[in-house]
Amino acid sequence: MPVISIPTSFNIDVAFEVPSFGRRIASLLIDMAVEICYLITAFWLLGKLVENMDPWDEDGRHNLWAIQLLAIAPVFLYHIIMEITTNGQSVGKKIMHLRVVNNNGGKASVSQFLIRWLLRVSDLWIVIILILLLSLGGGGNMQTFFIFILGFGFLVTDIVLVASSKRAQRIGDLLAHTILIRTNKHEDLSNTIFREVREDYIPVFPQVMHISDRDLNIIKNLLDNAHKTHRYDQLRTAADRVKTYLKIETDMEPYQFLDKLLEDYNYLSTSQHR
- Supply the pLDDT for residue 84: 92
pLDDT digits 0-9 by tens, 72-97:
888 888 999 999 998 889 999 999 98
CB–CB of 169/112 below 8 Å? no
**pLDDT at residue 18 tops 70:** yes
Residue 5, beta-bridge partner list: 15
User: Any idea which of 31-45, 53-67, 180-194, 230-244 has the lowest mean pLDDT?
Assistant: 180-194
- Supply the pLDDT for residue 93: 92
pLDDT digits 0-9 by tens, 26-38:
998 899 899 889 9
Better pLDDT: 221 or 271 = 221
User: Any idea which of 39-43, 194-198, 225-229, 231-235 has the lowest mean pLDDT?
Assistant: 194-198
Percentage of the residues of the chain whose pLDDT score is greater than 90 = 9
In whole angstroms, how far apart are CA 140 and each of 26, 130, 143, 183? Answer: 29, 13, 8, 42
Q: Which amino acid appears at position 132 of this protein? A: L
Q: Which amino acid appears at position 94 of this protein? A: K
Closest CA to 156 of 166, 145, 171, 143: 171
Q: What is the mean pLDDT of residues 241-248?
A: 89
* CA pair distance 18, 183, nearest whole angstrom: 9
> In the chain, where are the structural domains located?
3-182, 189-271
Rounded to two decimals, what is the model's pTM?
A: 0.61
* CA pair distance 115, 172, nearest whole angstrom: 7
* CA pair distance 26, 93, nearest whole angstrom: 9
* CA pair distance 191, 195, nearest whole angstrom: 10
pLDDT-based confidence at residue 150 (cuts at 50, 70, 90): low
Most confident of the ranges 156-170, 220-234, 260-274: 220-234
CB–CB of 117/83 below 8 Å? yes
pLDDT digits 0-9 by tens, 93-143:
999 989 998 877 777 889 999 988 887 755 665 666 655 555 555 455 666
* CA pair distance 71, 264, nearest whole angstrom: 47
Average pLDDT across the chain, whole number: 77
- Supply the pLDDT for residue 186: 44
User: Any idea which of 55-59, 106-110, 163-167 has the lowest mean pLDDT?
Assistant: 55-59
- Supply the pLDDT for residue 223: 85
pLDDT digits 0-9 by tens, 172-208:
888 888 888 888 644 443 455 556 667 778 888 988 8
